[in-house]
């Protein structure tokens, strides 16, 4: 029996929405903005894939989403997060997961990271201000570590490094027998 899967996303600048739509297309399942998701709607599905952005070191909207999932009675959740960190920064990504998910959640909830980029043009004013302030501080700093040099370059302007290839591990997981 095939599982009913839905992709629910929270996107601010469009990167997470893009990945959600790519995943939904690959899985031939519906995709829904988190604002439209209700406990009643989600309870009709066997599995919900929730996608959001990494924002100020947190998974944007995850706490609210968890409450909604609990209310709907969902048992099977998969999580993906998009962000400006390159996929090669494995230690940084692992620290992010450790900061945002409990040890139990890390074991119980399959989670995937997908690099995306920055889009200053679509950022909210407070986010844009925060990023520009950080960029200014990094520019003024002397004796930067290699990480700080890379950070300065990566937040200087908008860029898009999103690619369907980064959703591969998640899609493979969803299609695997271990999901049933």
CA–CA gap between residue 138 and residue 126 (Å, rounded): 18
Looking at residue 41, what is its pLDDT?
Answer: 93
| Mean pLDDT of the 123-141 span | 82
Percentage of the chain with pLDDT > 70? Answer: 96
Using the predicted structure, report yes or no on whether residue 177 has a pLDDT greater than 60.
no
Using the predicted structure, report yes or no on whether residue 123 has a pLDDT greater than 70.
yes
- Which candidate, 79, 86, 48, 47, places its Cα nearest to that of 62? 79
Looking at residue 80, what is its pLDDT?
Answer: 98
Using the predicted structure, report yes or no on whether residue 112 has a pLDDT greater than 80.
yes
Using the predicted structure, report yes or no on whether residue 179 has a pLDDT greater than 60.
no
161-175 pLDDT, tens digit per residue, is 899 999 999 999 999
CA–CA gap between residue 69 and residue 66 (Å, rounded): 5
66-109 pLDDT, tens digit per residue, is 999 999 988 899 999 999 888 888 888 999 999 999 999 999 99
Looking at residue 2, what is its pLDDT?
Answer: 62
24-53 pLDDT, tens digit per residue, is 999 999 999 999 999 999 999 999 999 999
């Amino acid at each position: 029996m095939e599982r009913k899967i839905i992709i629910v996303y929270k996107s601010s600048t469009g990167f997470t929405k893009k990945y959600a739509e790519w995943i939904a297309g690959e899985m031939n399942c519906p995709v829904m903005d988190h604002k439209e998701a209700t406990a009643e709607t989600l309870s009709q599905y066997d599995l919900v894939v929730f996608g959001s952005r990494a924002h100020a070191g947190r998974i944007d909207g995850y706490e609210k989403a968890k409450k909604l999932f609990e209310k709907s009675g969902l048992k099977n959740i998969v999580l993906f997060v998009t962000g400006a960190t390159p996929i090669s920064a494995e230690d940084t990504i692992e620290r992010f997961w450790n900061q945002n998910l409990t040890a139990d959640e890390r074991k119980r909830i399959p989670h995937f990271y997908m690099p995306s980029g920055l889009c200053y043009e679509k950022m909210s004013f407070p986010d844009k201000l925060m990023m520009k302030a950080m960029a200014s501080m990094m520019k003024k700093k002397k004796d930067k570590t290699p990480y700080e040099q890379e950070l300065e370059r990566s937040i200087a302007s908008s860029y898009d490094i999103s690619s369907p290839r980064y959703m591969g591990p998640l899609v493979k997981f969803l299609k695997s027998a271990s999901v049933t």
